Chains A and B, each alone.
Chain A
Amino acid sequence: MTDYNDTELLKMFREENSRNYAFNLIVQQYQERIYWHIRRIVISHDDADDVTQNTFIKAWNGLPKFKEESKLYTWLYRIATNESITFLNKKRKILYIPINNIEKDLSNKLESDVFFTGDDIQLKLQKAILKLPEKQRIVFNMKYYEELKYEEISEILSTSVGALKASYHHAVKKIETFLKED
Protein backbone atom coordinates (compact mmCIF):
# COMPACT_ATOMS: atom_id res chain seq x y z
CA MET A 1 0.00 0.00 0.00
CA THR A 2 1.31 3.45 -0.89
CA ASP A 3 1.81 5.59 2.20
CA TYR A 4 0.26 9.02 1.90
CA ASN A 5 0.84 11.79 4.37
CA ASP A 6 -2.06 13.35 6.27
CA THR A 7 -2.30 16.37 3.98
CA GLU A 8 -2.57 14.18 0.87
CA LEU A 9 -5.16 11.92 2.48
CA LEU A 10 -7.27 14.86 3.62
CA LYS A 11 -7.04 16.51 0.21
CA MET A 12 -8.34 13.31 -1.40
CA PHE A 13 -11.06 13.01 1.23
CA ARG A 14 -12.35 16.51 0.49
CA GLU A 15 -12.86 15.66 -3.17
CA GLU A 16 -16.18 13.90 -3.74
CA ASN A 17 -14.77 11.46 -6.31
CA SER A 18 -11.93 10.18 -4.13
CA ARG A 19 -13.61 10.44 -0.70
CA ASN A 20 -14.32 6.72 -0.24
CA TYR A 21 -10.87 5.78 -1.52
CA ALA A 22 -9.19 8.25 0.84
CA PHE A 23 -11.19 6.98 3.79
CA ASN A 24 -10.25 3.41 2.94
CA LEU A 25 -6.59 4.47 2.94
CA ILE A 26 -6.97 6.25 6.28
CA VAL A 27 -8.50 3.10 7.81
CA GLN A 28 -5.77 0.90 6.38
CA GLN A 29 -3.03 3.27 7.53
CA TYR A 30 -4.20 3.72 11.12
CA GLN A 31 -6.38 0.69 11.94
CA GLU A 32 -3.71 -1.31 13.76
CA ARG A 33 -2.47 1.51 15.99
CA ILE A 34 -6.02 2.54 16.83
CA TYR A 35 -7.16 -1.04 17.42
CA TRP A 36 -4.27 -1.83 19.80
CA HIS A 37 -4.79 1.41 21.69
CA ILE A 38 -8.47 0.52 22.17
CA ARG A 39 -7.72 -3.13 22.93
CA ARG A 40 -5.43 -2.18 25.85
CA ILE A 41 -8.28 -0.14 27.33
CA VAL A 42 -11.27 -2.46 26.80
CA ILE A 43 -9.20 -5.72 26.88
CA SER A 44 -11.61 -8.05 25.03
CA HIS A 45 -11.18 -8.46 21.27
CA ASP A 46 -14.91 -8.32 20.53
CA ASP A 47 -15.31 -5.09 22.44
CA ALA A 48 -12.19 -3.62 20.81
CA ASP A 49 -13.56 -4.59 17.40
CA ASP A 50 -16.85 -2.76 18.06
CA VAL A 51 -15.12 0.33 19.46
CA THR A 52 -12.64 0.44 16.58
CA GLN A 53 -15.47 0.34 14.03
CA ASN A 54 -17.34 3.08 15.89
CA THR A 55 -14.16 5.17 16.08
CA PHE A 56 -13.71 5.13 12.31
CA ILE A 57 -17.42 5.79 11.69
CA LYS A 58 -17.13 8.84 13.98
CA ALA A 59 -13.98 9.84 12.11
CA TRP A 60 -15.86 9.61 8.77
CA ASN A 61 -18.58 11.88 10.16
CA GLY A 62 -16.07 14.31 11.68
CA LEU A 63 -13.48 14.45 8.89
CA PRO A 64 -15.29 17.13 6.84
CA LYS A 65 -14.93 19.46 9.85
CA PHE A 66 -11.33 18.46 10.67
CA LYS A 67 -9.20 21.60 10.46
CA GLU A 68 -5.71 20.05 10.65
CA GLU A 69 -4.91 21.89 13.87
CA SER A 70 -3.59 18.56 15.11
CA LYS A 71 -2.12 15.55 13.35
CA LEU A 72 -4.64 13.10 11.90
CA TYR A 73 -3.46 10.21 14.06
CA THR A 74 -3.61 12.23 17.31
CA TRP A 75 -7.16 13.25 16.36
CA LEU A 76 -8.02 9.58 15.70
CA TYR A 77 -6.39 8.59 19.00
CA ARG A 78 -8.55 11.16 20.80
CA ILE A 79 -11.74 9.76 19.26
CA ALA A 80 -10.60 6.22 20.07
CA THR A 81 -9.82 7.11 23.70
CA ASN A 82 -13.17 8.85 24.17
CA GLU A 83 -15.05 5.98 22.53
CA SER A 84 -13.26 3.43 24.76
CA ILE A 85 -14.01 5.37 27.96
CA THR A 86 -17.62 5.86 26.88
CA PHE A 87 -17.85 2.13 26.15
CA LEU A 88 -16.57 1.19 29.63
CA ASN A 89 -18.94 3.68 31.26
CA LYS A 90 -21.88 2.18 29.36
CA LYS A 91 -20.77 -1.28 30.45
CA ARG A 92 -20.68 -0.14 34.08
CA LYS A 93 -24.23 1.17 33.78
CA ILE A 94 -25.61 -1.87 31.95
CA LEU A 95 -24.02 -4.40 34.31
CA TYR A 96 -24.52 -2.22 37.43
CA ILE A 97 -20.82 -2.52 38.15
CA PRO A 98 -19.38 0.00 40.65
CA ILE A 99 -16.97 2.49 39.09
CA ASN A 100 -13.78 0.77 40.32
CA ASN A 101 -14.84 -2.81 39.63
CA ILE A 102 -15.02 -2.84 35.84
CA GLU A 103 -11.24 -3.33 35.75
CA LYS A 104 -11.62 -6.24 38.19
CA ASP A 105 -14.18 -7.71 35.81
CA LEU A 106 -11.80 -7.23 32.85
CA SER A 107 -8.95 -8.74 34.87
CA ASN A 108 -11.00 -11.86 35.60
CA LYS A 109 -11.78 -12.27 31.90
CA LEU A 110 -8.11 -12.09 30.88
CA GLU A 111 -7.32 -15.64 31.91
CA SER A 112 -10.14 -17.15 29.88
CA ASP A 113 -9.61 -14.89 26.85
CA VAL A 114 -8.63 -17.04 23.86
CA PHE A 115 -6.95 -14.00 22.32
CA PHE A 116 -4.63 -13.48 25.29
CA THR A 117 -1.39 -15.19 24.35
CA GLY A 118 0.99 -13.75 26.93
CA ASP A 119 2.98 -15.76 29.46
CA ASP A 120 2.40 -15.77 33.24
CA ILE A 121 4.49 -12.70 33.97
CA GLN A 122 2.76 -10.77 31.18
CA LEU A 123 -0.59 -11.81 32.65
CA LYS A 124 0.52 -10.54 36.06
CA LEU A 125 1.64 -7.24 34.50
CA GLN A 126 -1.71 -6.83 32.73
CA LYS A 127 -3.58 -7.53 35.97
CA ALA A 128 -1.40 -4.97 37.76
CA ILE A 129 -2.10 -2.39 35.03
CA LEU A 130 -5.83 -3.06 35.41
CA LYS A 131 -5.59 -2.10 39.10
CA LEU A 132 -4.55 1.44 38.14
CA PRO A 133 -7.06 4.29 37.97
CA GLU A 134 -8.48 4.57 34.44
CA LYS A 135 -6.55 7.65 33.29
CA GLN A 136 -3.25 6.41 34.79
CA ARG A 137 -3.81 3.12 33.01
CA ILE A 138 -4.31 4.87 29.67
CA VAL A 139 -1.23 7.07 30.19
CA PHE A 140 0.89 4.03 31.13
CA ASN A 141 -0.20 2.09 28.04
CA MET A 142 0.39 5.02 25.70
CA LYS A 143 3.85 5.69 27.11
CA TYR A 144 5.09 2.18 27.75
CA TYR A 145 3.52 0.07 24.99
CA GLU A 146 2.71 2.61 22.29
CA GLU A 147 5.86 4.63 22.98
CA LEU A 148 4.16 7.95 22.32
CA LYS A 149 5.93 11.13 23.36
CA TYR A 150 4.53 13.06 26.32
CA GLU A 151 3.76 15.95 23.94
CA GLU A 152 1.65 13.63 21.76
CA ILE A 153 -0.15 12.14 24.76
CA SER A 154 -0.72 15.67 26.01
CA GLU A 155 -2.41 16.59 22.74
CA ILE A 156 -4.57 13.46 22.76
CA LEU A 157 -5.66 13.59 26.39
CA SER A 158 -5.67 17.39 26.75
CA THR A 159 -3.44 17.09 29.83
CA SER A 160 -0.23 18.98 30.60
CA VAL A 161 3.10 17.23 30.02
CA GLY A 162 4.00 17.70 33.70
CA ALA A 163 0.80 16.00 34.85
CA LEU A 164 1.41 13.13 32.42
CA LYS A 165 4.97 12.60 33.69
CA ALA A 166 3.67 12.49 37.25
CA SER A 167 0.87 10.15 36.23
CA TYR A 168 3.28 7.75 34.48
CA HIS A 169 5.74 7.85 37.35
CA HIS A 170 3.04 6.98 39.91
CA ALA A 171 1.66 4.28 37.61
CA VAL A 172 5.06 2.59 37.37
CA LYS A 173 5.54 2.73 41.15
CA LYS A 174 2.08 1.25 41.76
CA ILE A 175 2.64 -1.54 39.22
CA GLU A 176 5.93 -2.42 40.90
CA THR A 177 4.17 -2.60 44.27
CA PHE A 178 1.30 -4.69 42.85
CA LEU A 179 3.76 -7.15 41.30
CA LYS A 180 5.70 -7.48 44.57
CA GLU A 181 2.49 -8.07 46.52
CA ASP A 182 1.23 -10.68 44.06
Chain B
Amino acid sequence: MENKNNIPNNNKENPSFLDQIKKESPFSVPKSYFEVLPQVIIDKKLNNKSIENIFDKLSYRILAPTFAVLAIIAIVYLIPNENSEIELTGDQISEIILNESLHEFDEDLIYSVYSETQIEEPVAEEPNEEIIDYLINNNIDINSIIEEL
Protein backbone atom coordinates (compact mmCIF):
# COMPACT_ATOMS: atom_id res chain seq x y z
CA MET B 1 0.00 0.00 0.00
CA GLU B 2 1.25 3.45 -0.87
CA ASN B 3 2.18 5.65 2.02
CA LYS B 4 0.45 8.89 1.08
CA ASN B 5 2.02 10.86 3.92
CA ASN B 6 5.45 9.65 2.87
CA ILE B 7 5.98 8.50 6.45
CA PRO B 8 8.80 6.01 6.93
CA ASN B 9 7.67 2.80 8.60
CA ASN B 10 10.87 1.82 10.37
CA ASN B 11 12.35 3.29 13.51
CA LYS B 12 15.45 4.65 11.74
CA GLU B 13 13.65 7.67 10.39
CA ASN B 14 15.75 10.30 12.17
CA PRO B 15 17.12 12.69 9.56
CA SER B 16 20.77 13.62 9.39
CA PHE B 17 20.31 17.01 11.06
CA LEU B 18 19.41 15.25 14.33
CA ASP B 19 22.52 13.07 14.13
CA GLN B 20 24.63 16.23 14.37
CA ILE B 21 23.12 17.11 17.74
CA LYS B 22 24.12 15.34 20.95
CA LYS B 23 21.23 13.16 22.00
CA GLU B 24 22.07 13.13 25.70
CA SER B 25 19.70 15.10 27.91
CA PRO B 26 20.61 18.79 28.13
CA PHE B 27 18.90 18.98 31.50
CA SER B 28 20.39 18.23 34.90
CA VAL B 29 19.11 17.78 38.44
CA PRO B 30 20.41 18.91 41.86
CA LYS B 31 23.04 16.68 43.44
CA SER B 32 21.67 13.47 45.01
CA TYR B 33 18.19 14.34 43.82
CA PHE B 34 17.21 10.78 42.89
CA GLU B 35 18.66 9.44 46.14
CA VAL B 36 16.30 11.50 48.28
CA LEU B 37 13.25 11.59 46.00
CA PRO B 38 11.78 8.21 47.13
CA GLN B 39 11.84 9.33 50.77
CA VAL B 40 10.30 12.71 49.86
CA ILE B 41 7.47 10.89 48.06
CA ILE B 42 6.94 8.42 50.91
CA ASP B 43 6.83 11.31 53.43
CA LYS B 44 4.36 13.22 51.26
CA LYS B 45 2.24 10.12 50.86
CA LEU B 46 2.23 9.44 54.62
CA ASN B 47 1.48 13.10 55.32
CA ASN B 48 -1.47 13.06 52.90
CA LYS B 49 -2.68 9.81 54.43
CA SER B 50 -2.51 11.10 57.99
CA ILE B 51 -4.34 14.30 57.06
CA GLU B 52 -7.02 12.26 55.29
CA ASN B 53 -7.33 9.91 58.26
CA ILE B 54 -7.60 12.74 60.78
CA PHE B 55 -10.21 14.47 58.67
CA ASP B 56 -12.17 11.24 58.17
CA LYS B 57 -12.25 10.52 61.90
CA LEU B 58 -13.04 14.11 62.81
CA SER B 59 -15.70 14.45 60.19
CA TYR B 60 -17.71 11.53 61.46
CA ARG B 61 -17.16 11.70 65.21
CA ILE B 62 -16.59 15.32 66.04
CA LEU B 63 -16.99 17.68 63.11
CA ALA B 64 -20.44 16.56 62.01
CA PRO B 65 -22.19 16.99 65.41
CA THR B 66 -20.19 20.15 66.14
CA PHE B 67 -21.26 21.77 62.87
CA ALA B 68 -24.84 20.69 63.51
CA VAL B 69 -24.86 22.37 66.95
CA LEU B 70 -23.21 25.50 65.55
CA ALA B 71 -25.79 25.64 62.76
CA ILE B 72 -28.65 25.47 65.28
CA ILE B 73 -27.07 28.20 67.42
CA ALA B 74 -26.60 30.36 64.34
CA ILE B 75 -30.24 29.90 63.35
CA VAL B 76 -31.52 30.77 66.83
CA TYR B 77 -29.30 33.78 67.55
CA LEU B 78 -28.22 35.23 64.24
CA ILE B 79 -31.49 35.30 62.31
CA PRO B 80 -33.17 38.61 63.24
CA ASN B 81 -36.40 38.37 65.21
CA GLU B 82 -39.04 40.59 63.58
CA ASN B 83 -41.02 41.02 66.82
CA SER B 84 -38.11 42.27 68.86
CA GLU B 85 -38.01 45.98 69.55
CA ILE B 86 -35.40 47.95 71.37
CA GLU B 87 -36.88 49.73 74.32
CA LEU B 88 -35.11 52.77 75.66
CA THR B 89 -35.93 54.86 78.67
CA GLY B 90 -36.34 58.61 78.36
CA ASP B 91 -32.97 59.20 80.01
CA GLN B 92 -31.28 56.89 77.55
CA ILE B 93 -32.85 58.69 74.57
CA SER B 94 -31.77 62.05 75.97
CA GLU B 95 -28.30 60.79 76.54
CA ILE B 96 -28.07 59.46 72.96
CA ILE B 97 -29.33 62.75 71.50
CA LEU B 98 -27.03 64.89 73.59
CA ASN B 99 -23.91 62.79 73.54
CA GLU B 100 -23.93 60.96 70.26
CA SER B 101 -26.34 62.36 67.74
CA LEU B 102 -27.09 66.01 68.21
CA HIS B 103 -23.56 67.31 68.13
CA GLU B 104 -23.02 65.59 64.81
CA PHE B 105 -25.60 67.73 63.03
CA ASP B 106 -24.41 70.53 60.85
CA GLU B 107 -26.00 73.70 62.21
CA ASP B 108 -25.99 75.41 58.81
CA LEU B 109 -27.79 72.43 57.35
CA ILE B 110 -30.41 72.53 60.07
CA TYR B 111 -30.88 76.27 59.54
CA SER B 112 -31.22 75.91 55.77
CA VAL B 113 -33.74 73.10 56.13
CA TYR B 114 -35.64 75.05 58.75
CA SER B 115 -35.76 78.23 56.63
CA GLU B 116 -37.15 76.31 53.66
CA THR B 117 -39.88 74.77 55.76
CA GLN B 118 -42.98 76.92 55.86
CA ILE B 119 -44.64 76.52 59.15
CA GLU B 120 -48.30 76.79 58.70
CA GLU B 121 -49.93 79.37 60.94
CA PRO B 122 -52.54 77.83 63.12
CA VAL B 123 -55.88 78.67 61.62
CA ALA B 124 -57.96 80.65 64.02
CA GLU B 125 -61.11 78.79 64.56
CA GLU B 126 -64.31 80.66 64.03
CA PRO B 127 -66.10 81.07 67.38
CA ASN B 128 -68.96 78.75 67.63
CA GLU B 129 -72.19 80.66 66.94
CA GLU B 130 -74.01 78.92 69.79
CA ILE B 131 -71.40 80.11 72.27
CA ILE B 132 -71.57 83.68 70.99
CA ASP B 133 -75.32 83.66 71.19
CA TYR B 134 -75.11 82.35 74.76
CA LEU B 135 -72.68 85.07 75.76
CA ILE B 136 -74.85 87.80 74.20
CA ASN B 137 -78.03 86.48 75.74
CA ASN B 138 -76.45 86.33 79.18
CA ASN B 139 -74.68 89.65 78.73
CA ILE B 140 -71.22 88.23 79.36
CA ASP B 141 -68.26 90.16 78.12
CA ILE B 142 -65.78 87.85 76.32
CA ASN B 143 -62.90 90.09 77.35
CA SER B 144 -63.63 89.55 81.04
CA ILE B 145 -63.36 85.80 80.43
CA ILE B 146 -60.07 86.24 78.69
CA GLU B 147 -58.74 88.34 81.55
CA GLU B 148 -59.76 85.65 84.03
CA LEU B 149 -57.83 83.10 82.03
Interface size on A, residues (CB 8 A): 39
Q: Mark A144-182, 1 if CB is under 8 A from B, else 0.
A: 110001000000000000000110110010011001000
Which residues 87-136 of A sit at the B interface, judged by CB distance below 8 A? 115-119, 121-123, 125-126
Interface size on B, residues (CB 8 A): 31
A144–B18 touching, CB < 8 Å: yes
Nearest residue (CB) in B for A45 is: B29
Given contacts A31-B34, A115-B27, A172-B13, contact A166 B18 (CB under 8 A): no
On chain A, the residues within 8 Å of B30 by CB distance are 45, 115
On chain A, the residues within 8 Å of B18 by CB distance are 144, 172, 175
Q: Chain B interface: which of A7-15, A22-30, A73-81?
A: A22-30
Determine whether B5 belongs to the interface, using a CB cutoff of 8 Å to chain A.
yes
Q: Chain A interface: which of B38-46, B84-92, B96-104?
A: B38-46
Q: How many A-B residue pairs have CB under 8 A?
A: 89
Expressed in whole angstroms, the Cα–Cα distance for A17 and B20 within the complex equals 52
Nearest residue (CB) in B for A110 is: B26
Determine whether B51 belongs to the interface, using a CB cutoff of 8 Å to chain A.
no
Which residues 17-64 of A sit at the B interface, judged by CB distance below 8 A? 20, 23-24, 27-28, 31-32, 35-36, 39-40, 45, 49, 52-53, 56-57, 60
Determine whether B8 belongs to the interface, using a CB cutoff of 8 Å to chain A.
yes
In angstroms, how far is the closest chain A Cβ from the Cβ of B13? 7
Expressed in whole angstroms, the Cα–Cα distance for A179 and B27 within the complex equals 20
Expressed in whole angstroms, the Cα–Cα distance for A36 and B22 within the complex equals 17
B contact residues vs A (CB 8 Å cutoff): 5-9, 11, 13-15, 17-18, 20-23, 25-30, 33-34, 37-38, 40-42, 44-45, 48
In the A-B complex, the 5 residue pairs with the closest CB atoms:
A118-B26, A122-B26, A27-B38, A169-B7, A117-B28
